[in-house]
Amino acid sequence: MKLSRGWLKNISQKGSSSEILFVLLLAFFLTMLLASCQSSSENFGHHFQLPPLPQDKPLRIVAFGDSTTARRPGVKKGYLERLQEKLSSFGLTIETYNAGVPGETTEDARPRLENDVLAHHPHLVIIQFGLNDAAIDFKRGRTTPWVSLDRYQSNLRYFIETLLQKKIYVLLMTPNPMRWTPHLKRVFNQPHYNHRFPRGINVLLRNYAWIVRNLSRLFSLPLIDVFRLWETREVKGEGQVQKLLSDGLHPNDQGHELIATWLADKIKELIFSPPGQSQPSLPPSSQPPSFQLPIIDLASRQKIQIVIDKDPEHYLGHPTTVLLEDGRTIIVVYPQGHGRGAIIMKKSLDGGRTWSERLSVPASWATSQEVPTIFRTIDAQGKRRLLLFSGLFPIRLAISEDNGLTWSELTPIGQFGGIVAMSSCLPLRSGPGHYLAIYSLSMFL
């Protein structure tokens, strides 16, 4: 694995050939991009003109999904039954059909779209899949999810496009987040998951939720983001996700009630919105633009590449660097692994042209759970420090007060967590030594 730093080549001399070439390439790229956007703008935004949802005759709704949609033992009413009651209270006549099948993935559901969904001639279809698609069946020797992200997206697009072409409204839902239970920790006792963190069971599922959000944006479809809404409630102190689940995986009655309330509000909005609004559209990728962007491939130009580190037994990547005040010394940190792994540190004294061997670091750095980040700061008294953060729960910090020669152990900075912490650390104008540190919650939300 190469960590190329060839782009660090010093081009400080004005008018250098490297600088001129870069400017020319950038100008060419922007010219091509602007021209292509103008020439292909007519391909973007083909709208489906769907008829208004009925108010004076039965509104037929099909819920298409897996076990989070299907009727389950121990749950008095699922979200679909509750939804029917709520919409009926608005004076509407509602017919619902539950097309949820426990244990199914989008791949399993694809062949039954015709008989289980279209055969009911629905006006609106609610789609929620993901828990099974993202699951890894370790008992059967699998090391990857049942359905890849690409195939998951392809299957959902097939459902969406088929329904829209038949003038049927589509309402998407992200899968609900899960929580660890003793049983689930035994079932998923594999390194693919983070067992130390309560939300660690969602490491894979969060990516599937992102696919649903993206499809909602691409097709301009209404979305109930159950994954994000549940997690946001917990962050705000409005209720733990665990209390919305019957077994760590499936919604209980309280969970179904929340989902039904959000669905009812959204469908009421669709029914009573003015004509012409909330119309879905084909995403740009459905009608490819008639141009190609130029590709600049530097992979074969080994003379401008510098190998910082390599390890035949471990993935090395996600480097974060800090440039010291002398303008030449660079410190780089990165995990020995894909995110989780011991933190490795190296130093360059010549602007990145050559690099030291791996430097000695505190013992606690071997326990890092996420990609480390490193920043240079100055406090109100002028004291200079390097800060190194390690993410997940809780976020931990190591400090150096001698430009990285010695470091403290990793120490928690609070009872909160995040992925790639801190992704940014910015000085504020409010006063010397004031900084704003930003970290991502996309691991969970």
238 and 132 in a single domain? The answer is yes
The larger pLDDT score, comparing residue 362 to residue 29, is at 362
| pLDDT of res. 283 | 60
263 and 327 in a single domain? The answer is no
Show the domain range for 168: 59-286
pLDDT category at 197 given cuts 50, 70, 90 is confident
What's the number of domains the chain is made of?
Answer: 2
User: Among residues 286, 318, 346, which one ends one of the domains?
Assistant: 286
Among 108-117, 121-130, 393-402, the least confident range = 393-402
Cis, bond preceding 394 (omega within 30 deg of 0): yes
Q: What is the mean pLDDT of residues 57-82?
A: 96
Question: In sequence order, which ranges of 242-388 are alpha helices (DSSP H)?
Answer: 253-272
Q: What is the CATH number of the domain that holds 64?
A: 3.40.50.1110
263 and 351 in a single domain? The answer is no
Residue 188 in any domain: the answer is yes
| pLDDT of res. 18 | 43
Element at 170 (helix H, strand E): strand 169-173
Question: Strand locations in 361-418, DSSP E?
Answer: 373-378, 384-390, 396-400, 411-412
144 and 255 in a single domain? The answer is yes
Q: Which two tokens stand for residue 217?
A: 């944006």
Average pLDDT, the chain: 84
243 and 317 in a single domain? The answer is no
268 and 338 in a single domain? The answer is no
| pLDDT of res. 108 | 97
220 and 156 in a single domain? The answer is yes
| pLDDT of res. 38 | 39
Tell me the three state secondary structure of residue 115: helix
| pLDDT of 257 strictly over 50 | yes
| pLDDT of res. 165 | 95
CA dist., res. 328 & res. 321, Å (int): 12
223 and 273 in a single domain? The answer is yes
Residue 40 in any domain: the answer is no
Residue 11 in any domain: the answer is no
pLDDT category at 19 given cuts 50, 70, 90 is very low
| pLDDT of res. 69 | 97
| pLDDT of res. 337 | 84
188 and 337 in a single domain? The answer is no
Q: What is the pLDDT of residues 281-292, one digit of tens each?
A: 666 544 444 556
Residue 401 in any domain: the answer is yes
Q: What is the mean pLDDT of residues 398-423?
A: 89
Contact indicator for 330, 323 with CB cutoff of 8 Å = yes
Q: What is the CATH number of the domain that holds 347?
A: 2.120.10.10
What are the CB-based long-range contacts (under 8 Å, 24+) for 25-34?
Answer: 25/296, 28/294, 29/293, 29/294, 32/291, 32/293, 32/294, 33/293
282 and 313 in a single domain? The answer is no
Contact indicator for 291, 39 with CB cutoff of 8 Å = yes
Q: What is the pLDDT of residues 119-173, one digit of tens each?
A: 999 999 999 999 999 999 887 888 889 999 999 999 999 999 999 999 999 999 9
Q: What is the mean pLDDT of residues 209-222?
A: 95
Q: Which two tokens stand for residue 209?
A: 């939720």
Q: What is the pLDDT of residues 323-382, one digit of tens each?
A: 999 999 999 999 998 778 899 999 999 999 899 999 999 999 999 988 899 999 999 999
Among 82-91, 187-196, 309-318, 394-403, the least confident range = 187-196
Beta bridge partners of 303: none
Which of 46-55, 251-260, 311-320 has the highest average model confidence (pLDDT)? 251-260
pLDDT category at 71 given cuts 50, 70, 90 is very high
Q: Which two tokens stand for residue 254?
A: 């309280």
162 and 237 in a single domain? The answer is yes
| pLDDT of res. 443 | 45
Fill in the DSSP letter of residue 167. T
Tell me the three state secondary structure of residue 280: coil
CA dist., res. 325 & res. 328, Å (int): 8
| pLDDT of 106 strictly over 90 | yes
Which of 16-30, 117-131, 192-206 has the highest average model confidence (pLDDT)? 117-131
pLDDT category at 11 given cuts 50, 70, 90 is very low
Q: How many CB atoms lie within 10 A of CB 361?
A: 19
User: Among residues 251, 286, 321, which one ends one of the domains?
Assistant: 286
